[in-house]
Every structure is written in structure tokens, then in C-alpha cells.
Amino acid sequence: MLYYSAVVWELLLLPELCDASSSLGALDIEIISPASMTVKQFGGLPFVGPAFNLAVTDVRRQFPKLNVTQKFIVGFNESLSDGECGENDVLLTEYYYRRRLDTLHGRQRRWTLFIYSGCGVGLTSNLQIATGLNKVVIISGVSSPYVTEKAAFPTILTTVLSPISPASYATVVKLVQFYGWTTVIVVTEIGGVNTGYEIGGRAVYSLLRAAIPPIDATFVPVSLTGNVATSVLVALLEQFRATSRIMFLSADSLPANKLLIQARLQGMTDGSYVYLITSALTLPYDGSRLRNVSNEYHFKEARHSYSSCLMVALGIDHQFVQGLAVADSNPYVNIWKATSQSEYNYTYPANKRPTLHVASAYAAVTIVAQVGTFAFPKATILGYYIHQLHERFKVADQLRRQEPPFDFDDGALLARQFFNRTFQTNVGNLTLNHVGQRIPQTLVGYYDPDKDVFVPYLVYEPTSDSSTFESLQQSRWLNGPWPVPSEPLCGFSGLRCKTSNMLIMIITGIAVGGIATCLCIYCVIQRFFYYQRLHQLWWNLDPNLLMQMEQWRRQQAKSALGRFGAILCVGSVRALD
């Protein structure tokens, strides 16, 4: 009753709270983003720039008391090679300290942070700068192993939605544990068009080895790009046959199809082997600049092997993400394309869509505004009221319980406000785990030969309390038992059944011999005791038996006398003649 009375008073006081909040000023949120104008990387401004611009416009409209600005620190990129991006950490540091002096001189309340959307070449140096300054840094373009190392990098977060991320690798391990598989062989493509597959394969192998209970994992790096001898594929498959029945194949469609075609020729696509893949084998590798001949992918021939595969890939709304691109149905797709052309002089090809990097960039700005609303609760009328109400009942988090002014230079504390939260954005929900790492929705699908697509049947939802897979529909498998056992009944070499049969024969022979011996011993003992009874009771005669014997003797005597008389008579007759 007391609780509801307090709530009523809070509602009555809401107009006064609104009047008070109107005179409290705004919070300046300054986003600094190292960037480049390259179109060789998905993190270049021609791709992500429109998403950043639209996100800033949207949050200004949604949160009018938050003054959000973004500054791009563009490096020189006239002589960039394919592996370079153009971000300049010197320019970044120079700009930050110049703005820092201006902020101190003007005594403005400002939250300064970094959003990084480029490639991984300059990532380490930029992360070191942000960590040294104790500033929040959000990675929206690439993943980084530093995200989980909070002791050394406490201010790093990531909004990237990519299969090349620690969260995606962990989902593969969860699937192996979900089905109780104890042996896995990890085959990864090396020297291919995308080094991310090798990084992913090594990461999955390390996680499998460290799993509890332990999983027997074998790591096999192999080059399958270009001309590959049949002997190489056969040797790899024979190693698979001898060590496991579950393969995690970290490769794009071309090398994966080569291996699966040979697997069918080896009789290893009969449903007793499982091939875990991370990309749709029916699609060409979307990021390749080196391949333009679709016949190289051998789609028609490889399709006969797809029924032995499970695809573990990113999903949105329980549908597989195709080519790591934003869906055509997204209302922002046409806006981003038009802005890329008008402001960055880049025109998307007819068959290309903005990638997930673009959506991650938009989401990064959005979640900053949402956290800023709570970090500076008097910045908006609704935020101020929520702050006061939660202060009254002691249910707010650490930031809400602190009275303004709040130290917006404490990047580690601000970074923790993103942990274990799900944010709603215009490009989909975004969930961060306990270290600020994005947890993607992961789907597991089987191949439907009638539709020529992989159909999701399991989902791992991106929620902080999610611990297992949820079923979407009944799984379909080629034949044999499901889930496929990690080891065949007779062992990998087949000797277990032979040994078992021999042991059964030995045990059976021993049992039969033992029974026969026991019967013989029983017969001997019975015969022995029989003669013992005759010897001990020879004098104990039955009178009835004696009478019968006497009668028998008399009959025998009469019979003998008769026969003797007849003979005498015959003899007499013969004598008379």
C-alpha cells in the first residue's frame, strides 16, 4: 500500500519534475571516429558514413536534450594497398588533445568516446590510445580478442555482427556440447581469399580444447584454394574417418565444395558423418575480388553432399543472413545507397546491398544515446523522472544511484553500463554480454534439397540468460541415428567389434566346456554311489522278490522236464521203427 501511494505522489509531482529538468541543460556527446575513404574495406566511409550520419540525426530527434556530434578523423589513403585502411593514430591523438583543451577552457559537460569502424590494421594502436585515455571505444566494423581482456582493456565494446567473432565461435562449441559430441576435427582453409576463416578455425579449436567436460579436438590447416590434388583431399578425409565423425569446416564455398565432392566419392556422405559449416555453400563468396567464374564452385555436383551438412550461421528474425548483407526489406537500404552516391561518390553495384557493418555502425551510435540518457538522467524530462523514481525506491543501477554531476571521464565505469543489456534499435535488437561483446542470434540449419536452401531448426537467442539452443522445428537428417554418434559402434578402426566377438566366443566355449565337465562329474558321482549302495545293502532282500524267483525256477524246471520227456518219447518211437 505504501508503495502505490508513493507512486501516486510521483505522478502528481511529474509536472514539477518536468519544469525542473527544463533548466538543467544538455549533455554533449562527442564521438570521434578514425576513418578512411577507401572502398577496399567494408569499414570505409563510403559504406558506413551514411549509417553514422543517419544515426546521429535519429538520436537528436529522439533525445532532444542530448547534443550528439561525430567527428571523422580521415587519414591519407592515396597509396593504400589492399591490406591498409588509412586511419592515422597521430591525427587522432592530435585532435583529441586539441579538443580536450577547448573543453577545459569552456567548462562544458561532455562525454567523449571513440567509435571505430575500420579494418584491423590500425586497431591495436587505436585501442591502446583509448585505453590510456580511459575512454569508451566501440568497435563496429571488426571484432577483436581484446574485447574479452577487461583487465588490460576495460573500455572496449563491440557491436559488430560477424561470424568472425568470439561469440560466434563459442556458439559452435555450445552446439557440440548440446549433442554430446566428444571428438571433433577442425579443418580450416589457409592461404585463401579471407584470413578470417583461419582465425575462426583456430579459435574454435582452442575453445574445444578448453571445454569442460573435455572435447577431443584435432586441428588440420590445409590449403584448398587453387588446384588441389585428389590425394590431398583423400588423405584429409581418411584422417577424418580415423579420428572422428564430426568435422567443423572453416572455409568458404569453393574449397568446401571441393572437399564435400570428394567425401561423397569416398562414401562419407551417407549420414554417418556430420560437416559443420559457417557459410552457405550454395552462394559464391561475397567478399572475393579474385573469383568471378561461378563454375569453379561446382554447385551442381556438390549439392549431392549438402544433406550431410549442418550450417551454423548468423540469423535475424529466425532467418539466415545471406552474404552478410542487410535484408532488402530494411527501410534504410535505399537511404544508405542514395547517401553513398550523393555524399561519398560511391554507387553500389546492382546486385550488392549494404553489409552488416553498416547496420552495426548505425547501432553503435544508437546505444551510446540510450546509455547517455541514463548516465545523465536530467538531460531529458523522461530520463529525469525515471532517475528520481528509481532513486526513491533504490532499484536503479550504479549510474542512476549517483547524484549529478557524474564523472564522464571515467570510461571504465561508463563501459560497464553497456554490459548485460539488450538495446532496441531501428536495425534490430542488440545484446551485449558481461564483457561488452555482442551476442548474435545464431541459427543451425539442415539442407532441404527440394528448396535448395538451408532451413533453420535450432536457434541460440542473444539474451544474457540464454544457455542452450531452442527448437524451431523438427530436424531432418539423411539417414541413420540422430544425433550422429561421435564414434562408431566398433570404434574408428573397427577392431572393437572383432575383439568383442572373439571375447564372446571364448566366454561361450568356456561356459559350454564347464557345463559338460559338470555333467561328466555328476554322472561319475552318481554311478559311484549306486555301486556303494549295492555293496552295503546286498543282504537286505525282499521276500516278494524271492517268491517270484522261486516260481520262476519251478516254471523253468517244468519246462525243461517236458522238453526232456518229449525227447525220450521221440527216441522210443524211432527205436520201435
The string of DSSP letters for 107-128 reads T--EEEEEEE-S-STTHHHHHH
pLDDT of residue 91: 82
What architecture is the 2-161+327-432 domain classified under in CATH? 3-Layer(aba) Sandwich (3.40)
| 323 three-class SS | coil
Question: Can you list the alpha helix ranges (DSSP code H) found in 376-494?
Answer: 381-393, 398-401, 411-416
pLDDT of residue 68: 94
> Per the structure block, which three cell numbers stand in for 33?
571516429
> Per the structure block, which three cell numbers stand in for 452?
535448395
Contact 407, 110 (CB under 8 A): no
Residue reference for cell 522278490: 545
pTM of the shown model: 0.70
> Per the structure block, which three cell numbers stand in for 260?
564435400
CB atoms within 10 A of CB 44: 25
pLDDT of residue 122: 66
| 456 three-class SS | strand
pLDDT of residue 484: 93
Residues of the chain with pLDDT under 70: 1-25, 76-88, 100-108, 119-122, 282-298, 375-406, 464-466, 493-496, 498-503, 529-577
Contact 163, 203 (CB under 8 A): no
d(CA 488, CA 497) in angstroms, rounded, equals 10
Which one, of 332, 331, 254, lies nearest residue 286 by Cα?
Answer: 254
d(CA 189, CA 277) in angstroms, rounded, equals 12
CATH class for domain 166-323+441-471? alpha beta
Contact 411, 136 (CB under 8 A): yes
d(CA 432, CA 441) in angstroms, rounded, equals 12
> Phi and psi dihedrals of 312, rounded to 5?
-110, 105
Which one, of 56, 78, 77, 64, lies nearest residue 22 by Cα?
Answer: 64
pLDDT of residue 7: 43
Contact 273, 305 (CB under 8 A): no
Mean pLDDT of the chain: 78
Contact 130, 122 (CB under 8 A): no
Phi-psi region of 394 (alpha: psi -120 to 50; beta: other; left: phi over 0): left
d(CA 207, CA 170) in angstroms, rounded, equals 7
